[in-house]
Amino acid sequence: MIKSENIKVCVFDAYGTLFDINSAVNKHIEKLGENSEAVSSIWRQKQLEYSWLRSLMCQYTDFWKVTQEALDYALNSCGIENNKLRGELLDAYMHLDCYPEVEEVLKDLKEKGIVTAILSNGSPEMLKAAISSAKLTDYIDVVLCVDDIKVYKPDPKVYKLVTDKFNISKEEVLFHSSNSWDVAGASSFGFQVAWINRLDKQKETLPFKPDMEAKSLNEVSKVFK
């Protein structure tokens, strides 16, 4: 259960939560044909895996480079050698669609006087481009990214960027993520956490649980009404 009366800042993960990561591949589905689904899912899986492994290895490189390395793995796994298409997919990732309810939810929170922020693995350039092309600039107060601390989620140093920035306690943050591992990290850190389980994914068997599970951001914003 979310204790909404305590919440001062609503923080959103970016990729998969605000922005539809499958929309990059969907824009080029005709060129990818039967490989579309595999490219999209392997690209994402490797992007996460490489971000975790590089954090653990103390070999941070920014998320744009991680995204490129992961796409190369995905294209290799489907036997696709096509530099032009590679460039187009990366460009599409730079300008992802956001999910349909996002603008309305952010606007609503702003009207209620709640501060909004993004906390993402994305590089500053990636986040700037995504926010701008999804026309969300007016609804996001603060963008926090990992580039200054050179480590990825779910390292607690990442979640601490929020409490340091706003000088608030962990319980005063409502963190939203579609990514179950990010939910575990934020819950382990001590945030109140909503799991936006858009695709009805299986629950993790880790002991760090969300305070709420919802199908879309709409359901969460209702706790403030």
Restricting to residues 29-58, name those near a copy of itself by CB under 8 A.
46, 49-50, 52-58
- End-to-end Cα spacing for the chain: 15
Close Cβ partners of 112 (under 8 Å, ≥ 6 residues apart): 224
Minimum CB distance to a copy of itself, residue 126 (Å): 19
Pick the binder of a copy of itself from 11, 118, 126, 184 (CB under 8 A): 184
H or E element at residue 30: helix 29-32
State in angstroms the smallest separation of the CB of 205 from a copy of itself. 4
In Å, how far are 48, 113, 120, 182, 202 from 206, measured between CA atoms?
Answer: 17, 34, 22, 12, 12
Q: Interface with a copy of itself includes 23 (CB under 8 A)? A: no
Stretch that binds a copy of itself, among 107-115, 150-158, 167-175, 191-199 (CB under 8 A): 150-158
Q: x/- binding map, residues 56-75, to a copy of itself, per CB under 8 A?
A: xxxx---------xx-xx--
Point out the residues that are catalytic. Answer: 13
In the complex, which residues of this chain contact a copy of itself (CB under 8 A)? 46, 49-50, 52-59, 69-70, 72-73, 76-77, 152-156, 181, 184-185, 188-189, 202-206, 208
